[in-house]
């Protein structure tokens, strides 16, 4: 039993380490503020689109797109939810943005299987998470609290149609999309 738990912890640690390295790979030291469009373009250029419309890998960042907030705003994130046809899997630490809750409800209304995990007691935002939890649940969405085995579940991700994954540093708040330096891959 303990051996299985240690293996699971080791696998989780490896995944977290990989994601951290991936996020840090885009960091650099400079005297001037990095241009978000240049950073996004560098990763987007790592894959080429052929005549058949398929993206073919070139280099280590193939197929990845770096989204830099607040420069990029919420447009790409909202478009991901709006484009879902089959399923949405969202795990989030803090959700206070009504437009995201509304988009998830709209997806469920058009037949998308929406499942959400929300941190029940985030620092400085428990009330809003409870409100989002109840609103999503009342719309028939499968919404659950993150496991209580951990003090916090701080990982943030969105998987659309089991094909597109968004790994994020940002919460679903006004500040995250409009004021904070955040990243999404």
Strand pairing category for 55-57 and 47-49: antiparallel
pLDDT above 60 for 22: no
**What is the model's pTM?**
0.69
In a domain, 113, yes or no: yes
Q: Is residue 18 part of a domain?
A: no
Query: pLDDT value at position 63?
Result: 83
| 3 occurs within a structural domain | no
- Asked if residue 55 belongs to a domain, the reply is no
**For residue 26, is it within any domain?**
no
| pLDDT (tens digit per residue) in 76-135 | 999 999 999 999 999 999 999 999 999 999 999 999 999 999 999 898 766 889 999 999
Mean pLDDT of 21-38: 48
Instruction: List the domain range (segments joined by +) for residue 156.
Output: 39-44+61-184
C-alpha span between 46 and 64 (Å, rounded):
8
Are residues 83 and 111 in contact, defined by beta-carbon separation less than 8 angstroms? no
Number of compact structural domains in the chain: 1
pLDDT at 128: 83
| Beta pairing partners, 160 | 88, 164
More confident residue, 121 or 54: 121
- Other beta carbons within 10 angstroms of residue 56's beta carbon come to 11
- The per-residue pLDDT for 13 is 60
Question: What are the φ/ψ torsions at residue 36 (nearest 5 degrees)?
Answer: -60, -40
Burial of 170 (0-12, 13-18, 19+ CB in 10 A): buried
Query: What is the rounded CA–CA span in Å between residue 160 and residue 104?
Result: 12
CA 27 to CA 39: how far, in whole Å? Answer: 10
- CATH number of the domain bearing residue 154: 3.30.870.10
What per-residue confidence (pLDDT) applies to 127?
84
125-183 pLDDT per residue, tens: 668 899 999 999 999 999 999 998 988 899 999 999 999 999 999 999 999 999 999 99
Q: Which of 38, 80, 46 is nearest to 64 (CA)?
A: 46
């Amino acid at each position: 039993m303990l051996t299985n738990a240690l293996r699971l912890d080791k696998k989780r640690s490896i995944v977290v380490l990989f994601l951290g390295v991936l996020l840090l790979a885009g960091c650099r030291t400079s005297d001037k503020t990095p241009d978000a469009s240049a950073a996004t373009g560098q990763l987007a250029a790592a894959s080429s689109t052929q005549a058949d419309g398929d993206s073919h890998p070139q280099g280590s960042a193939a197929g990845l797109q770096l989204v830099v907030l607040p420069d990029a705003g919420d447009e790409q994130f909202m478009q991901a939810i709006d484009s879902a046809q089959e399923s949405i899997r969202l795990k989030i630490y803090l959700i206070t943005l009504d437009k995201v809750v509304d988009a998830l409800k709209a997806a469920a209304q058009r037949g998308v299987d929406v499942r959400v995990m929300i941190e029940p007691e985030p620092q400085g935002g428990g009330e809003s998470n409870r409100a989002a939890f109840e609103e999503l649940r009342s719309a028939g969405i499968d919404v659950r609290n993150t496991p209580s085995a951990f003090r916090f579940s701080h990982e943030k991700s969105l998987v659309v149609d089991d094909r597109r994954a968004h790994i994020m540093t940002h919460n679903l708040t006004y500040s995250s999309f409009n004021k904070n330096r955040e990243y999404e891959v």
